[in-house]
Structure 1
Amino acid sequence: MEHYPTKFKHIAPTFIIVAFGTTIVTLLFRWVFTINSEILPIKEEVFHIWLPLILPLIPITIWLRPKLRILKFKNDNGSFLFQMIAWGTMIGMMITSNGYLKSATGKLSEVRTIDLLEEKSRYVSLEEVKLNRDLGSAHTEFRTSGRYNQNLNFDSYFVYPFETSNQKFKYWYGVKFHKQIGNRLPLEKKESLFQQFFEQSIKDFESFKFSEPTYFEVLPHSEDREGFIKAIEKLQINKPNKLIVIEPREGNYADRNGKKFEWIFGWFGIGVCVFLFALIFPKYNQAEHKRQLRGVKPKSDELIDMLKFLIPRDDHYVTSILLDFNILIFLLMTFSGVHIISPNGIELLEWGANRRSETTGGDWWRLVSSMFLHGGIMHLFLNIYGLVIAALFVEPVFGRIKYFILYFASGICGSLASIYWYENTISVGASGAIFGLYGAVLGLLLTNAFPKDGKIGILMFIGPYVGVNLLVGLTGGIDNAAHIGGLVSGAVFGIILYLTVKNSEGKSSRRPRKRLA
């Protein structure tokens, strides 16, 4: 406890500023650009889930992590633990505050009929609910969730148009039904469970008491609104450009905020107490503290070194470009509204996923475009890991141009294997190309590309990665055809390209050299 005040003064203010600063900046951004003006059509899920999960990592890494270097830990995970405490605190604060901002700023319009609904109303109370029951429609979304996509979710969206004086079908009443099942079940069982769910949803929708809710929410840009819009678009009727969907809400409008405001500070209080209590145990690094006060930066930083791998240079020039392009495409997909965890088939096909009917029907570019799409953030991270490990062995051997050729040739072969083997599978990801790199490594083990005494170590290092991924692919939900196609073609291309490299080196060594007199 001797140095506790010093540790507190150096670290705690940064923790407090980072926690509240990130939360306030996010709320201001959302208010200005999505609530007050709707300049940016960002889905609500981004603010309620994905930004709270991802955004805190940036200020924690930039500002809080360096401050923690004045602490001495018994193992390397000590600093990480403090960062996780701060991360958990900020997640709770941001999720709760965004929920409060949504409900607290929402304006309630109390009207007799939907025709009288005011612009920018978030909530509405209706005296009369008159629906056109002859124009009902439905749409179902299928998404996987859980670790290794172990769950399959059904979300069915049912709509009826309101009867209005002008009959322009601008206002719609939406009801959503949800069910989750195991994704490892046989296909016939999943189809049977979906059929039961959908039939029951139809019965529940037809018997739904549409006038019973005390208030409704006008849906903003969100995944649910998109689901309802897709149901409306199935109807062959003239519709205005702007469609307004309302969904019933439980309880009373006055109780919508609940304890959200109090829990913003509750999450902060819990996080601060845990953080400050944990600050008791690490020892004080006086030398590091003095260096920080003088503004001297550490000679090495593992995180900075890792981020530098994204900068094209040296023996990872092409790999860095591929990583950057994959990450950029994923960010563009996410901010355009594609689900960050489990995008559905329609979303992926719109961005260029590979499927037999579309690809053989003339969209041959999908063989390449699908290599830069990913089925969620975990899929992206796993492929980044696999690409970096493989690239450490492959790019230095082949050089930039031949490595580039190997990557794309293997990826295209993996895509071709996918549409040959699967008739109706939507395939995305860089796995085919990455397995091509691993195939090239395995092929090069038959040559003298690697030292003899290092070949067994290389095989033991990459062999389990390839084997485990192929075995996991047998459980379903993974395009093993693309993996195998990329692996085999990569081995063949790798040997051919390596032989061309050796031949070109041999010829250049036999050329007569000019001598200067």
Structure 2
Amino acid sequence: MIISVSTITIYTFFDWLIIVKLNLIKVDEAVVNLIIPMVIPWLPLLFLLRARVKLLKLNNKGNRDPATGILMVCWIAIAIPLVISQEYMVTATGKLTRLDYMSQIDYNKPTKYYTVKRFYVAKGLVHLRPVFRVSGKSNSDFNMAIYAPIPVFDHLFPDTNMITVMRNNLNAKGLVIINGKLSNMQVLKRLPADSIRRMRYLNPSLVMPQYGDAGKFGALLVLTRGFKIKSESPPPKIAPAAWLAVKYTKTISNRLTVQEKDQIYRAFATQSETDFRNMRFDRFIYLDRIPYNNDSQNYLDAIKLKGDVVDGFPVVLKPVYDVYSNRNGNKLAWIFGSFGAGAVIFLIILSLIKLRDGDLISILKQQVSGK
């Protein structure tokens, strides 16, 4: 009991302090929450409990090593609640930040969870990246994933709310520039919709140097398809405040042929596209900052794939559609339940096996001396 409680408490505390609270080092979530918790219980068990387990009258004939089997039970009783404890610690101690606008995320100290009042999810600017990998025993599983991070802005992008206002209001004070020449809203409204190649709003700072005070309300720049552009400038890069982490997955047998895998993937991609098109991603209740792991790297690769995003460190958030109070799930019950089950099994083993004959102190001395 002392070894179990001490191991779980000490490791969880240092995980919280170094990784979560102070963020001193960036380590893959799987390493901190799974690999290390699976390894670290063996240290106190081998150095502190193994000698005591050998006080039992065990059948060591042949190649049997019942002491190791008993230690395995103890290891499971510690490792499982230790793994769950790390996940519970992250969700239970994560702070919630309330934002008025999505861009405020850059001006606040990073936290685990967010709520935001005003934002715009630009589904049309989604970045897609398919990822394939094999897993399972003898690579029996073929895993397909489509990473689809969606950029999120403060408002409808790019300035289309201003464009709509100016275009629908004949008395708008902003200038209208069609194919490089001053015009007006009446001319713009007579243009067929399919004749417009590009339309964007220009801030006053870009208009006033050429048009003076007449451009203090900005301008609506319109290029028609019939207008010849001498040099086509590259499209401007986007700078969203954050990205929504959206992913679709499917696992099939790795024993299928390449043609069968390709056919299944095409059907999977079509279904994912339908689900994406029908999903209202703006109806999330809160956002969860994704941890540093393999998924986060795939999201970053998808974001940078097109080369249309300004350089920087994208903030990737997972949309959550459940109430905030349910974020911990049943983790706490699983911690005590798994630990209690392992402890009871260990207790039953101790009750069924007798102690070795003789004085216990003498037996311990014999073990230390190697006899």
TM-score between the two structures when normalised by the length of structure 1: 0.52
Tell me which of 334, 337, 341 is aligned to 1:270: 341
Query: Deviation at 1:210?
Result: 0.7
Whether 2:75 is the aligned partner of 1:87: answer: yes
**Amino acid of the residue matched to residue 38 of structure 1?**
N
Structure 1 position 247, deviation (Å): 0.9
Q: Any idea what the Cα deviations from partners look like across 1:236-288, whole Å, max 9, x if unmatched?
A: 12434221001112421111123323432332222211111110122212458
Query: CA deviation digits over 1:189-227, x for unaligned, max 9?
Result: 122212222232222223221122211201121222111
Kindly report which structure 2 residues correspond to 1:349-368, keeping only aligned pairs within 5 A, or say none: none
Matching residue's letter, 1:103: T
Query: Does residue 40 of the first structure (1) align with residue 25 of the second (2)?
Result: yes
Matched, 1:188 2:259: yes
Mapped to 1, the partners of 2:311 and 2:10 lie a distance apart of: 36
**Counterpart amino acid of 1:266?**
G
Q: For residues 398-439 of structure 1, what are the alpha-carbon distances to aligned partners after superposition, in whole Å with 9 as ceiling and x for unaligned?
A: xxxxxxxxxxxxxxxxxxxxxxxxxxxxxxxxxxxxxxxxxx
Does the residue aligned with 1:284 lie in a helix, a strand or coil?
coil
User: Does the 8 A contact of 2:16 with 2:90 survive in 1?
Assistant: no
Alignment correspondent of 2:292: 221
- Seen in structure 2, the aligned counterparts of structure 1 residues 135 and 264 have a Cα distance that, compared at 3 Å, is same
CA contact (8 A) 2:53 2:67 kept: yes
Matched, 1:68 2:53: yes
1:144/1:183 contact within 8 Å kept: yes
Q: Does 1:247 align with 2:247?
A: no
The share of aligned pairs that are identical, in percent, is 25
Runs of 4 or more consecutive aligned structure 1 residues displaced over 4 Å after TM superposition? none
The structure whose RCO (Cα within 8 Å, separation 6+) is larger is 2
One-letter identity of the residue aligned with 1:140: P
CA shift for structure 1 position 292? 5.4
Map of 1:125 onto structure 2: 115
Output aligned runs, 1:208-357, within 5 Å: 208-286=279-357, 289-291=360-362, 293-294=364-365, 296-297=367-368, 299=370
The answer as to whether partners of 1:158 and 1:205 remain within 8 angstroms in 2 is: no
Asked if 1 retains the 8 angstrom alpha-carbon contact of 2:103 and 2:241, the reply is no
The question of whether the paired residues in 2 share the 8 Å contact of 1:158 and 1:231 is answered with yes
2:93 paired residue number: 105
Letter in 2 for 1:179: K
Change (3 A) 1:190 1:58: farther
Higher Rg: 2
Q: Which has the higher strand share?
A: 2
Partner of 2:42: 57
Q: Which residue pairs with 1:355 in the alignment?
A: none
The two structures, once aligned, show a CA RMSD in angstroms of 2.3
Aligned to 1:144: 134
Partners of 1:29 and 1:240 in 2: CA distance: 34
Please give the alpha-carbon distance, in whole angstroms, between the structure 1 residues aligned to 2:308 and 2:359. 70
d(CA) in 1 for partners of 2:259, 2:279: 30
In structure 2, the residue corresponding to 1:211 is in which secondary structure?
helix
Q: Deviations over 1:37-76 (max 9, x none)?
A: 2111112222332223222223222222222111122352
Residues 162 and 79 of structure 1: CA distance in aligned 2, closer, same or farther (over 3 Å): same
**Distance (whole Å) between structure 2 residues aligned to residue 261 and residue 121 of structure 1:** 22
**What one-letter code is carried by the residue in structure 2 that aligns with 1:146?**
G
> What corresponds to 2:143 in structure 1?
153
Instruction: Give the 3-state SS of the residue equivalent to 1:137 in structure 2.
Output: coil
Pick aligned residue for 2:273 from 196, 202, 207: 202
Q: TM-score, normalised by structure 2?
A: 0.71
> Any gaps of 5 or more consecutive residues in structure 2?
159-237
Name whichever structure is richer in helix by fraction.
1
Closer, same or farther in 2 for the Cα pair 1:293/1:142, shift >3 Å? same
Question: Of 83, 86, 103, which aligns to 1:115?
Answer: 103
1:448-506 alpha-carbon deviations (Å, 9 max, x no partner): xxxxxxxxxxxxxxxxxxxxxxxxxxxxxxxxxxxxxxxxxxxxxxxxxxxxxxxxxxx
Conserved 8 A contact 2:123-2:150 = yes
Amino acid of the structure 2 residue aligned with 1:49: L
Assess, with a 3 A threshold, how the Cα gap between structure 1 residues 54 and 144 changes in structure 2: closer, same or farther: farther
Relative distance call for 1:64 and 1:253 in structure 2 (3 A) is same
Amino acid at match of 2:326: D
Segments of structure 1 that go 5 or more residues without pairing to the other structure are 1-15, 301-517
The 2-side partners of 1:298 and 1:226 are apart by 53
Aligned in 2, Cα 1:56/1:217: closer, same or farther, shift over 3 Å? Answer: same
Q: How does 1:387-466 map to 2 (within 5 A)?
A: none
Aligned to 2:91, the other structure's residue is in SS state helix
Using a 3 Å threshold, how does the CA distance of structure 1 residues 83 and 288 change in structure 2: closer, same or farther? farther
2:7 counterpart letter in structure 1: T
Distance across 2 between alignment mates of 1:79 and 1:296:
14
